Chain A
Amino acid sequence: MNGRLRGFRFLQGAIVPLAVLVLWHGLAVSGMVSPLILPSPWAVLRKWIEYISPHAPFDPAQMSYAAWLISGELPHDAYASLHRVLSGFFIGAVLALPLGLLMGASDTVYKLFNPLIQVLRPIPPIAFIPLAILWFGLGNPPAVFLITIGAFFPILMNTIAGVRHVDAIYIRAAQNLGAGRWTLFRHVMLPAASPYILAGARIGIGTAFIVVIVAEMIAVNSGLGYRILEAREFFWSDKIIAGMISIGLLGLAIDTGMNRLNNYLLKWHRGIGN
């Protein structure tokens, strides 16, 4: 793509967001709605900058410059949310992956576990909130528990599907070359299923991110979800929107990172286009 075309594409992509901003601004300054209900884009941007900036001026005696840069409220909240997402996602993946591989590879294991999973899977992770609080109290444990559930099922379902869709020709070829059970599993089934598994991981981390925001509104007092609920109690609508935009940006960053990782791990795969 040459420079002019790229510039054109960029402008094309900017049209709708700009139009929405103009409309929003017009509505906010028209006086038709109270700034308490809908603050102007400028107010939100000012709040966002305040939210991301460090509280105190830089003092070399206190901390390093890098630490000072991320000492604001937003970096702390983003870190808290991200930490929960990754913990829950990690636990969910560690549980779902072996079970999914076993269920995909063995009909017996599949028949044993499938009925229970089919009943549990349609329950939204949010519906586990009362039980999570009852079991784990308040704080990080119930939040991580809910995120684990959110990440577990997409990874499990995709891993099962991935193993079941391994082309029989690869298994035959490997057996023909003398592969035993373990080699077959580790060097054929697992890599052959990896496009499905990674797609499941991408959905799983997306679900985990949705769940973390809800969990933070209920069980903990840090993180991006907690912050926007707190802002509502003070009628800081500019901070609510600034927080929501931060959530969107962090979600986008996670998905982009996951996509990059997938493309790297699946560089051998035909279907890679983005």
Chain B
Amino acid sequence: MSESYIQIRGVSKVFPDARHGDVVALKDIDLDIRRGEFVCLLGPSGCGKSTLLNAIAGFSLPTAGTITVDGRLVRAPGPERGMVFQEYAVFPWMTVAKNIAFGLEIQNTPKAAVRERVDALLAKLQLTEFRDRYPKDLSGGMRQRVAIARVLALDPPVMLMDEPFGALDALTRRTLQDELLRIWGELRKTVIFVTHSIEESVYLADRTVVMTYRPGTIKRDIPISLARGRDPNSHAFNDVKKEFAQLVMEEQQRHQQDEIRAAIAD
């Protein structure tokens, strides 16, 4: 498969736990992602979607199997795989502009080039008025814009997004989703986007990978053929949503039963 840009082969991740027995978070995951593709990892909490993302990012390597990006084995975190986190991970002690410049400055990029790049990103993400503000003065949506800009500053070919809009209200969420699609359309990044929102995955992805609850495996890998500029109120959109909902709810049921079992066992 020469098309495959990110290759995940036989990836498993076991978290040792002496008291309750080891947790198999991921089991034998095989996944290929093409360059420029927008892929969603979808599933209930505990299905290992964030674990898989962290493995691709290089934060927490798999216990078995390999992950390669553009032919290179993932061994550690790196700026070519930019991560946007669920929690607000922008540095609160730096201004918006400083946050965006951080990755460039540690590469010793010349000052003028940093400034030019930061200005362009501030404009792209509509943050220009906030350039000298600290994150504490920003809304959740604005902070995630900064987080996206900070990652884009290094122009990574791959963007990893871990439920980045999960904490936002519905309207802000939609605005940022549209913004992300615009940026993705413009820059053609490969995006791996973790979410537990069925609608979000149908709205954003070229392809959605539905994962099973413990052990985390791939339940279904479904391309979404809806044309871009998707209308969440259309029949076609809702048909896809229903199909996904059924798959995800089966796993959610297993998650719930497991929680009840654990509560009884305690």
Contact = CB atoms under 8 A, between A and B. Distances in A.
A9 interface: no
Contacts of A169: 85, 87, 89
Contacts of A180: 106
Interface stretch (A47-55, A111-119, A202-210, A263-271): A263-271
Given A178-B103, A178-B106, A172 B77 contact: yes
Contacts of A175: 59, 76-77
Contacts of B184: none
A158 to B, nearest CB: 17
Contact of A176 (B57, B91, B94, B135): B57
Interface string A169-185: 11011111111100100
Contacts of A192: 91, 93
A194 interface: yes
A35 interface: no
Chain A: number of interface residues, binned into ranges = 20 to 34
A194 B94 CA distance: 13
B134 interface: yes
A191 interface: yes
A177 B103 contact: yes
A187 interface: yes
A176 B77 contact: yes
Interface string B118-152: 00000000000000001110000000000000110
Contacts of A45: none
Interface in B43-84: 57, 59, 76-79, 81-83
A267 B134 CA distance: 9
B102 interface: yes
A188 interface: yes
Given A177-B79, A178-B154, A187-B102, A170 B134 contact: no
Contacts of B78: 176, 178
A183 B94 CA distance: 14
A176 B154 CA distance: 11
Given A176-B57, A268-B134, A188 B79 contact: no
Interface in B137-175: 150-151, 154
B89 A173 contact: yes
Chain B: number of interface residues, binned into ranges = 20 to 34
Most chain A C-beta atoms within 10 Å of own C-beta, residue among B78, B82, B106: B106
A176 B79 contact: yes
A119 to B, nearest CB: 33
Contact of B59 (A172, A177, A268, A269): A172
Contacts of B90: 173
A188 B136 CA distance: 17
B154 A170 contact: no
Nearest to B136: A270
B246 interface: no
B106 A173 contact: no
B2 interface: no
B77 A268 contact: no
B233 interface: no
Contacts of B87: 169
A180 B77 CA distance: 11
B92 A176 contact: no
Contacts of B59: 172, 175-176
B107 interface: yes
A172 B90 CA distance: 11
B96 to A, nearest CB: 11
A175 B92 CA distance: 16
A262 to B, nearest CB: 14
Nearest to A180: B106
B106 A177 contact: yes
Contacts of B135: 268
A270 B92 contact: yes
A191 B135 CA distance: 14
A197 to B, nearest CB: 12
B85 A173 contact: yes
13 contacts: A169-B85, A172-B89, A173-B89, A173-B91, A173-B150, A175-B59, A176-B78, A177-B82, A187-B102, A188-B91, A191-B94, A268-B134, A268-B135
Interface of A: 169-170, 172-180, 183, 187-188, 191-192, 194, 267-270
Q: Which 9 A-B pairs have the closest CB atoms?
A: A177-B103, A191-B93, A268-B134, A178-B79, A173-B89, A175-B77, A169-B89, A176-B83, A270-B136
Given A177-B151, A191-B93, A192-B91, 6 more contacts: A170-B89, A172-B59, A172-B89, A173-B91, A178-B78, A192-B93
